[in-house]
Structure 1
């Protein structure tokens, strides 16, 4: 009798232990697999998504400001690139490489920040990265050689890149699935307003002051963002990975997302659009100065057309994607592939803008037509951007930062290549045919949208994408 009781107790303890281990596995593994259907959350009272609406949007505003620093620091420097080249006595290819290296680091560094944020603290990542940005920007302003300048630009890009990946995790923490498109649209206002304000400010500072004053100004902006984070930014994340996971395994996780069909196919259209936008941006200053005799400040204002289109596209597409998602889903679950419908409009506008800009510059038509092409190009990029990024974020809620860092790596790698391609293609083919080739590749990226829309739900249901 007593033996039977002991055996029953042992079996009960064994079952309980097995269930405990299984529960732990079930709790950690699905987060790194695509979610088949997203369901409205039932958060606890102290969850970040239970903060007041004003506080949640204020947190998002701070994160968007951090995301604003990276593109701002890239674009504000472009109108002054000729003066920097002259001061350091380097070639055109050499000075263009400073743009490409900066973009490459914007792609790689978020993978590290993403892992740290998932293992430890989002708030700590934001503060450390922003402090790194401020110090390295001061170093850029004080650089006396091209070697030191490039080194400081590398650390500047690393510091400015954190929000590009960690911001996705913060949005997951703060917002329900049916509000994330709008939140992503507002979040991307930071990264997209950077290319609007940057060239304007850079053009005027370069023309009326010294190019080094650009970096003194950036350091002041970074210091302001750092102060906001220290004073007002709470910790929103919880550890989404086991803390006893090896550091090497954790660091390799973002790379593993590059093997995921969902991440790769959903990211390719935006990566292509973003890269070709930098193709145009990197060559725009030269084209406007040589063909239309613009001053540095006028070149800066010309970037406003592209940046305004970007900002409008990101905002409108985020709201439209949320509306389409709610309209085509029931109240119990959401089929997130519906978000991608709006990206087709973005592909059409992108191709139209590329063709219009390329041939108007080639034929030296009215500068108004050139700027209209730039606006359509930026509008197309913005419309593609928000739904595709929100889709990747929703598909991998538990590891949104790592998934977004992999997507960001694809985008920045291509954007780092295109400025180096621009001088060669434009010299050999001219603007018209170069942009025709680019528009053709952009149109073909629609194949990826089609595949994800029609097979993405099946891939997520199959849960055949185990990740470390």
Structure 2
């Protein structure tokens, strides 16, 4: 498979015939599997696509909530297992290390072998590890099982992006990514609150029991309702997969969609040995690299604020651990709202850009190589970065000046909402640039994000001790603003870079 940013790449699947009776939008040259030009991008109905996206997006919640819900239980775990808080903090470090590596394996598997089997595998691993965490009584078991839990949960975000890429064309993709990140961004604020309440009212074990019960129920929903969406397996959804592992129970009962293509049952994808380094290849692409760099840098600013929040609120405003956890709510609320509406905004920006672009108003995957997708997706991002820059510096100086607690909470709402909006724009553009490797490129994004988050968090406390909290976040805000020149360059030159690579590949 080529490594360029172009989306119109050769695929292995056979062509499908037209579906004249379909009510779906007909897009020219719209698949990655050599389908007929009159074929719909996806045969799933709008209601089915929303249901599939909700299932995949809810799966991604477990990746973030499993880390944040754990924080309030650190002291309780330390006392129960008779180890230091520093030792418990090492389980957090190991969780994030695995979270940076595992999606590279899971994402590659999902792109090459299908979304459904990898989703079931991830949640089976997660459920088993979480049950073990609820029952364990030793530090060694805690450390090992947290790594396994992270391995199962962390791949769900990359898989969810892959599912969205399978079912939604570029013109609709912003809304679906907004749904995904809206749910994912709610977890960092809800997690500490839920963890604090559960640890205080019940015990730390019930944190894992509740995660196990919830993930078990979700695994059942995936088994019954989640269809295979990977285009390498089912094309635009009209092909009935041969292997039972790709067929949900709902799929097996509702086969009418496949009646017209009974003779076109695809072969089972060949066995693929996961390559954790394949995701790194995407960083060699200029357009993708810039978007990943910007998204990762903005993520490091967001997580620096989240890391400082609890300790600063306790130190400056003398809050309890539980009320300090509640201070995460403005950021989470702002992030969830902004992610949803930013998805709608991206779809509007796409339509406005397509009106000024010669060619079809609805641009399919195969045509994005000649469409200025960078202009469409980055149309509003500069407003988000400007708000985030001002709010990040404002948060730091509100704490430094010891203003009324409402002031930093308001700043948190704006940092959370503007960060979430930036994440939606970057995540959607990355998927647009790499539709046939969407899970793999998201794994690369995740790895880069984890590394930059770790670097920023490592520098956070030394900077606060050295220059004070006000100047610390002013410096962070200025670093975030440095994204603007690279985004302007990408917006103006991205299409030319990709067209140049097309010419090289054609010659």
* TM-score when normalising by structure 1: 0.86
Equivalent-residue separation in structure 2 for 1:176 and 1:246 (angstroms): 27
* Counterpart mapping for 1:50-449 below 5 A: 50-88=43-81, 93-239=86-232, 247=273, 250-330=275-355, 331=361, 333=363, 334-337=371-374, 338-449=376-487
Contact 2:162–2:439 (CA under 8 A) maintained in structure 1: yes
How many Å apart are 1:244 and its aligned residue? 6.4
C-alpha distance 91-274 of structure 1, shift in aligned 2 (>3 A): farther
**Could you tell me which residue of structure 2 aligns to residue 14 of structure 1?**
none
C-alpha distance 119-385 of structure 1, shift in aligned 2 (>3 A): same
How many Å apart are 1:328 and its aligned residue? 1.3
C-alpha distance 332-174 of structure 1, shift in aligned 2 (>3 A): closer
How many Å apart are 1:48 and its aligned residue? 7.9
How many Å apart are 1:123 and its aligned residue? 0.2
Q: Structure 2: where are the runs of 5+ without partners? A: 10-26, 236-267, 356-360, 364-370
Deviates most, 31-40 or 148-157: 31-40
Per-residue displacement from partner, 1:126-173 (whole Å, max 9, x unpaired)? 011011111111222233333322221111111112222122221121
Equivalent-residue separation in structure 1 for 2:48 and 2:408 (angstroms): 41
Per-residue displacement from partner, 1:285-327 (whole Å, max 9, x unpaired)? 2222222122232122211111111112211222111111111
Equivalent-residue separation in structure 2 for 1:93 and 1:34 (angstroms): 46
Equivalent-residue separation in structure 2 for 1:36 and 1:461 (angstroms): 12
**Could you tell me which residue of structure 2 aligns to residue 41 of structure 1?**
30
Equivalent-residue separation in structure 2 for 1:208 and 1:151 (angstroms): 27
Contact 1:254–1:403 (CA under 8 A) maintained in structure 2: yes
Equivalent-residue separation in structure 2 for 1:393 and 1:161 (angstroms): 18
Determine which structure has the larger helix proportion and give its number. Answer: 1
How many Å apart are 1:181 and its aligned residue? 0.4
Equivalent-residue separation in structure 2 for 1:416 and 1:100 (angstroms): 9
C-alpha distance 365-147 of structure 1, shift in aligned 2 (>3 A): farther
Contact 1:165–1:405 (CA under 8 A) maintained in structure 2: yes
**Could you tell me which residue of structure 2 aligns to residue 9 of structure 1?**
none
**Could you tell me which residue of structure 2 aligns to residue 20 of structure 1?**
none
C-alpha distance 243-234 of structure 1, shift in aligned 2 (>3 A): closer
How many Å apart are 1:377 and its aligned residue? 1.0
C-alpha distance 215-427 of structure 1, shift in aligned 2 (>3 A): farther
Contact 2:96–2:150 (CA under 8 A) maintained in structure 1: yes
C-alpha distance 156-416 of structure 1, shift in aligned 2 (>3 A): farther
Equivalent-residue separation in structure 1 for 2:318 and 2:386 (angstroms): 31
How many Å apart are 1:96 and its aligned residue? 3.8
Contact 1:350–1:380 (CA under 8 A) maintained in structure 2: yes
Equivalent-residue separation in structure 1 for 2:362 and 2:205 (angstroms): 55
How many Å apart are 1:36 and its aligned residue? 7.8
3-state SS in 2 of match to 1:234: coil
Structure with greater contact order relative to length (CA < 8 Å, sep ≥ 6): 1
Equivalent-residue separation in structure 1 for 2:71 and 2:46 (angstroms): 38
Equivalenced residue count is: 437
Equivalent-residue separation in structure 1 for 2:41 and 2:215 (angstroms): 25
3-state SS in 2 of match to 1:313: helix
Per-residue displacement from partner, 1:237-283 (whole Å, max 9, x unpaired)? 133899669737x5432111122211210112221121222222222
Task: Tell me how large the CA RMSD over aligned residues is.
Answer: 2.7
* TM-score when normalising by structure 2: 0.80
